[in-house]
Each structure stands twice: as C-alpha cells, then as structure tokens.
Amino acid sequence: MTPRRKSPSLNERELRLWKVGRALVLTFVAAVLVAGGVFYGLVVLLDFQEIDTTAKLDAKTLFDLVKLSFGVVAGAGALVALVVAYRRQRVDEAGAHREATRLHTERFSQAVDKLGSDSPAVRLGGVHALAGLADDAPDDNLRQTCIDVLCAYLQLPYTPDPGGDPAQQEAHHRYLALRKVRHTILRLIGDHYRRPEGTHRSWQGCDLSTGVSSRRLIQFL
C-alpha cells in the first residue's frame, strides 16, 4: 500500500515563541542593521564626500532633526506593535488548533463507541462518522488514527456464515449485516482513492497497510 507520509511530531507542532524582550531586541537590531545598510548604500550611491563641520545649526535643520526624532520613535512603536501582533496571531492560531483537536477527539470517541456497538446499524453509522472525521481531521496524525481504526476493524474476528439453515436464520442475518459494515469500509477506502486528479483527496499518502489485504482492496479500486 501507499507508504506512510511523515507528519510533524508533537514537538514540532507545539507553539514556539521567543520571549517578548528577546524578540524586540532582535527585531530592533535587525531594523538598525537594515537602516544602516540603506544609509551606507545611499552615501555610496550619491558619492558623498564629507560633512561640513563649520556649518551652523539653523532653525530649519533643527526642525528637520525634531521630525526625524519623532519619526524614529514612531517607527519603533510600529515595530513593537508588529511584534506583539505577530505573537498574538501565533497564540490565536495555536489555540484554534487545540480547540479543533479537542473537538475532533470528542467526536472520535463517540464514533469508536458506535463502531463497538452490538447493533450493525449503529456500527455502520460509526464507520461513516470515522470516515468523515478522517476527511475533516486538523492534521495528518489524527487522520491516520481514524483510518487505522477503520482498517483494524477489518482484522477483527467474526463468526462465519452459518448458511441457509432455517434454524440459523437469525445468525445468518446478523452475519450479512456485519458483512455489510466491512464492505462499507472497503468501499469508502476505494471511493477516496478513485477520486480524479484535481479534487480533494484527503486520504492520499496515508498508510492503509493495517487490516486491508491487497486482494480485497483491489475489488474496490
């Protein structure tokens, strides 16, 4: 089957942010280096020779220096606001991912409970619920977990068909109902891999080696 695609580890998915002080210092240093590089480039480009140290500081020059000072302060404030906004955005994204993971875990537990029900109809609902969760999973690891459960279900032992004996009619009907559950899993797997190129193929690259024999899967691909 398709080899398992490597997914980011838990540590790689964790929120990693520098402390505010360190982030601001590094940002200011980077800004100063960029400003110095631009200034040096302009000096070279304009072929500036030297500064006239005999010139007196007039009112216009003093006013320009004041404007420059205010511009530097405003730029520093904008830089701080940018760093803070970036951190807030990262924290919000991490919180949204944790919430999506929590909701997915709750739905996953409910679907697995249905898959273990004594009623074949409830099991069938659990199969479709897990397939939908695999499509909507917030990351590849959670998607792979849903697919692993569906594939592992195919490995569970089951009572063989008792045949058409009228005395075993109830057992025969239950066998047919549970076989329908297994065939539905195979059909859903096949449907996800038969989707044409260019469409959403969320299961592409996931590991299907657990519980799905090549012979049975070929019937649905």
CA distance 199 to 195: 7
Tens of pLDDT along the chain (221 residues) come to: 444 444 444 444 445 666 656 666 677 677 677 766 766 665 566 555 555 555 555 667 666 666 766 776 677 777 778 777 877 887 888 888 888 888 988 999 999 999 989 999 999 999 999 999 999 888 888 899 999 999 999 888 888 888 878 888 888 899 999 999 999 999 998 888 787 776 667 787 788 775 454 445 444 44
Tell me what pLDDT residue 167 has. 82
Residue that the structure tokens 């280096």 belong to: 33
- Helix extents (H) in 116-168: 120-136, 140-153
Tell me what pLDDT residue 160 has. 86
CA distance 38 to 59: 27
Tell me what pLDDT residue 131 has. 93
Tell me what pLDDT residue 3 has. 41
Amino acid type, 157 = P
Of 9, 3, 39, 2, which is closest to residue 140 (Cα–Cα)? 9
Taking the CA atoms of residue 58, residue 62, residue 67 and residue 68 in that order, the dihedral angle to the nearest 10 degrees is 110
Of 209, 210, 205, which is closest to residue 5 (Cα–Cα)? 205
**Domains of the chain, residue spans:** 17-48+58-100, 101-218
CA distance 154 to 185: 8
**Structure tokens given for 164:** 């058409």
CA distance 116 to 134: 18
